[in-house]
Structure 1
Amino acid sequence: MMPGLYGEDELQEWRRRVDAVYARREAGFGQQRLAAIGDRDVARAPLLYDFEFTRMAAHPRVLALMQRVLGEWFILNVQNAIINRPSDAHHQAAWHRDLPYQNYVITRPLAISCLVTLDAFSEATGGTQVLPFTHKTEVLPSTAYISKHRLTAAAPAGSAIIFDAMLFHRAGSNGSQQVRRGVNHVYSTPILKQNYDFPRALGARADLSPALERLLGYSSQVPVDERAWRDQRAARLGVH
């Protein structure tokens, strides 16, 4: 857990922005359709609709840790805001990995999840539950193991809960009277395909620094053919 990323004034603004993005996307897609596909209360890729969320994704303390774990070159694979309402079952209450459908064991992380807590995460608010060491198992353990070993990742608002993206986890049940919001980021090595094609969605932007372009995957796009591959390599090596 990484505490103290944001103070209360900033948290109020982030909560407002999450709610605004979700309301906009719910209106665009339709509440009933979202319910039908099991995707209510998820503001997907909020940076595409409010560019301020790139600032959250590029928080210096978070990126410094990702660099230590993943190396010099990593990208933002996923950014989703999760809204957990009181006494309302969330579809992420099922055990899952943030690299879905990947059932294998690896010796070093390919991706790291960073869940920024905009409200307090606790047993009462349905904070994220984790299964320790399951990033080293190929399949979800038995019910008995889950019952014995599951933990709630408690954290105050404004913190980051950080774990291997292959760790099994789930949203808890919010028994409080307060909405619980978090923004999940998955940072990965560039060999993994992004969940959202940020470069194509955002297009060319003058306000993107080289570091932010790299984080969003602009330098990791798949070339269309061998000439494009060579042009990319030549540009990277400074060959004219």
Structure 2
Amino acid sequence: MSALEARGPEELKLPGPTRDAAQAAKDIETSGFCIIPNVLPADRLERVCEALYRAAGEDRARGREQKFRLDYAHDDTNQRVWNVLSRDPVFADLVEDPLALALVKSTIGWPALLGNISANITGPGGGEMVLHADQIFVPEPWPANPQGVNVAWCIDDFTEENGATRIVPGSHRLNRKPTPDEAAKDSVALEAAAGSIIVMESRVWHKTGNNRTQAQRRAGIFAWYTRPIYRQQENWFLSLNPAVRQFASDEMLVLLGYRTEGLGLVNGKSPA
């Protein structure tokens, strides 16, 4: 057992929320994550919240609701809303948010790909997710640097009680995925106010927590970015609303894979 594995969460100093981009990048490197408060001002947060819950309601009304069984048992309280990028232009603004994108670039470099942007709404009584690292698709032994980064947008308050994302502090330094017997390893809830972002590099172990409330839903939007050598989780070429590409910036075209360098060429040239 390594010195890190022998230590509990209480022995690892966790970074507090910061608005300083350089400190946030350092927190990701040293702790595997950072929390940045007040990224979405009240009016923008209200707009995003309305768009997300409207999309979730439309899926339910049309019989297209997708449940996400966090504990792999009979928990049907959690709703996943896929491909929110096609649902409302406000989600494209999240993908390209300057602060979030700067942390993506400082963590995994540029160019990068947007693998997915989806939402998870945990309902009252919702169960935990299995402990995991986001880059489980990368064969071990893992490279020395993270291969992806997850930007979690807190649409509601993330609290211990309503199932906030939980991490195993310092686990990114182990540079491997958790083993089955580590599924119950001690974890810490990442509590953050609505409008904050939680940025996690792809090696840190984490899971959705139990929503122990009687009436609270807790929504998070998760934008997943990878280095450009990995296949995107969402097939944007088939699922994307054409209007998103039509009005996309150069950076968005790169993130979606429509503008490429070296890979994904058409007759030797970037398709866009």
TM-score by length of structure 2 reads 0.73
Name 2:40's counterpart in structure 1: 6
Give the letter aligned to residue 97 of structure 1: A
Cα distance change, pair 164–118 in 1 and its aligned pair in 2 (3 A): same
Structure 2 distance, partners of 1:229, 1:97, is 36
Which of these residues, 124, 131, 147, is aligned with residue 168 of structure 2?
A: 131
Name 2:254's counterpart in structure 1: 214
Contact kept? 1:26, 1:34, Cα under 8 Å: no
Name 1:172's counterpart in structure 2: 209
| Pairing of 1:6-25 with structure 2 (within 5 A) | 6-25=40-59
Which of these residues, 182, 186, 194, is aligned with residue 220 of structure 2?
A: 182
Correspondence 1:75 to 2:113: yes
Once the two structures are TM-superposed, the CA of residue 196 in structure 1 deviates from its matched residue by: 0.8
Structure 1 distance, partners of 2:180, 2:249, is 47
SS of 1:106's partner is coil
1:81-136 residue CA offsets vs partner (Å, 9 max, x unmatched): 1101111336xx22223234445222011100111101111211111111223333
Give the letter aligned to residue 132 of structure 2: H
Cα distance change, pair 52–144 in 1 and its aligned pair in 2 (3 A): closer
Structure 2 distance, partners of 1:209, 1:61, is 16
Contact kept? 2:175, 2:203, Cα under 8 Å: no
Name 1:151's counterpart in structure 2: 188
Structure 1 distance, partners of 2:168, 2:179, is 9
Name the stretch that deviates more: 118-127 or 94-103: 94-103
Identity of aligned residues (%): 22
Once the two structures are TM-superposed, the CA of residue 141 in structure 1 deviates from its matched residue by: 4.4
Name 2:124's counterpart in structure 1: 86
Name the stretch that deviates more: 136-145 or 18-27: 136-145
Structure 1 distance, partners of 2:52, 2:147, is 28
Once the two structures are TM-superposed, the CA of residue 211 in structure 1 deviates from its matched residue by: 1.8
Correspondence 1:163 to 2:200: yes
Correspondence 1:64 to 2:102: yes
SS of 2:259's partner is helix
RMSD of the TM alignment (CA)? Answer: 2.8
Name the stretch that deviates more: 57-66 or 8-17: 8-17
Unaligned residue ranges in structure 2 (runs of 5+): 1-34
Cα distance change, pair 58–144 in 1 and its aligned pair in 2 (3 A): closer
Structure 2 distance, partners of 1:72, 1:35, is 32
TM-score by length of structure 1 reads 0.82
Structure 1 distance, partners of 2:252, 2:106, is 18
SS of 1:26's partner is helix
Once the two structures are TM-superposed, the CA of residue 183 in structure 1 deviates from its matched residue by: 0.3
Name the stretch that deviates more: 138-147 or 73-82: 138-147
Cα distance change, pair 166–25 in 1 and its aligned pair in 2 (3 A): farther
Contact kept? 1:165, 1:186, Cα under 8 Å: no
Once the two structures are TM-superposed, the CA of residue 42 in structure 1 deviates from its matched residue by: 0.5
